[in-house]
Amino acid sequence: MKKKKNIVFNFYSVLFFIFILTAWEIVSRAGSVPEYILPAPTKILLSVFINFRLYWFDLAITIIETLSGFFIAIILAFITSVLMDSFKIVNKMIYPLLITSQTIPIITLAPLFIIWFGYGLLPKIIIVILICFFPITVSLLSGFANADFEQINLLKSMKASKFHIYKYIKLPYSLPGFFSGLKIAATYSIMGATIGEWVGGKDGIGVFMLRAKHSFATDKVFGAILIITILSILFIRLIDAIEKRSMPWKNFEKGEVLEE
């Protein structure tokens, strides 16, 4: 297989990035900007390493919220989309609601969930679920709906059950879209959990950030941002890897065709 060209990073972009970091470092070290406004990159890194234990506990909480919300959303999305796909009535009932619900910026509901469910993990998990549910459900639905009608008919002529049609056609067909949906959901899920923590919480990386903000520990705020960013990248990478493994046939498409 041909190696995909990396379009995000190239020699010049890396060079430019290093330049920015160096400039930042120099400006900050020279003392022209106070440390609580812009700590030097090396200081931020140092703070992450020294205070790793401090970060770790809150980070673990945020990861738990994100992953539980994410997985519950996947399960709910599966149930909803299969029901909507199988029963026209369910589709007619839910689809308009599903679409209009997207005009509500979900994060604005956070204070409400804090009032209803307190300061624990639950309100954050609910926010993550709500954020992830839509992109996953919609991607599954469009996959199910666009599956090849003729392939389905073929399976029907072989006396396949509804379950078989999902297993052998609709699910594999919707996988690529499903993974795109997952990646959108993953990107927003960590953000959702963090903002939920800002609105009200006892633990979590968002709460950590608030504490750091109150004590003007700007290096820790930056440290948290760095960690959240790395976490997001790892999350997406993990989904990418699972995507590759679950669709082995994709590796061969557009490849050479074997002659007899």
Is residue 151 part of the contact set for other proteins (CB under 8 A)?
yes
- Alpha carbon separation from 91 to 80, 86, 129, 148, 202 (Å, rounded): 9, 8, 20, 20, 40
> In the window 170-189, what residues touch other proteins (CB under 8 A)?
172-173, 175
Task: Output the smallest distance, CB 157 to other proteins, in A.
Answer: 5
DSSP output for 164-225? HHIIIIIHHHHHHHHHHHHHHHHHHHHHHHHHHHHHS-SSSHHHHHHHHHHTT-HHHHHHHH
Task: Output the smallest distance, CB 156 to other proteins, in A.
Answer: 6
Task: Output the smallest distance, CB 148 to other proteins, in A.
Answer: 8
Is residue 149 part of the contact set for other proteins (CB under 8 A)?
no
Task: Output the smallest distance, CB 253 to other proteins, in A.
Answer: 5
Residue among 2, 88, 159, 214 that touches other proteins (CB under 8 A): 159
Is residue 148 part of the contact set for other proteins (CB under 8 A)?
yes
Torsion of Cα atoms, 113 then 117 then 121 then 126, to 10°? -40
Is residue 169 part of the contact set for other proteins (CB under 8 A)?
yes
Residue among 45, 76, 107, 155 that touches other proteins (CB under 8 A): 155
- Give the binding-site size for other proteins (rule: CB under 8 A): 29
- Give the number of other CB atoms < 10 A from CB of residue 83: 14
> Which among 120-128, 143-151, 190-198, 206-214 is the span making contact with other proteins, rule CB under 8 A?
143-151
Is residue 168 part of the contact set for other proteins (CB under 8 A)?
yes
Q: Does an H or E element contain 97, and which? A: helix 88-101
- SS3 category, 88: helix
Rounded CA-CA distance 226/221 in Å is 9
> Which among 37-45, 75-83, 181-189, 241-249 is the span making contact with other proteins, rule CB under 8 A?
241-249
Q: Which two tokens stand for residue 90?
A: 């369910």
- 107 and 149 in contact (C-beta within 8 Å)? no
Q: Which residues bind other proteins (CB under 8 A)?
A: 148, 150-151, 153-160, 164, 168-169, 172-173, 175, 247-249, 252-260
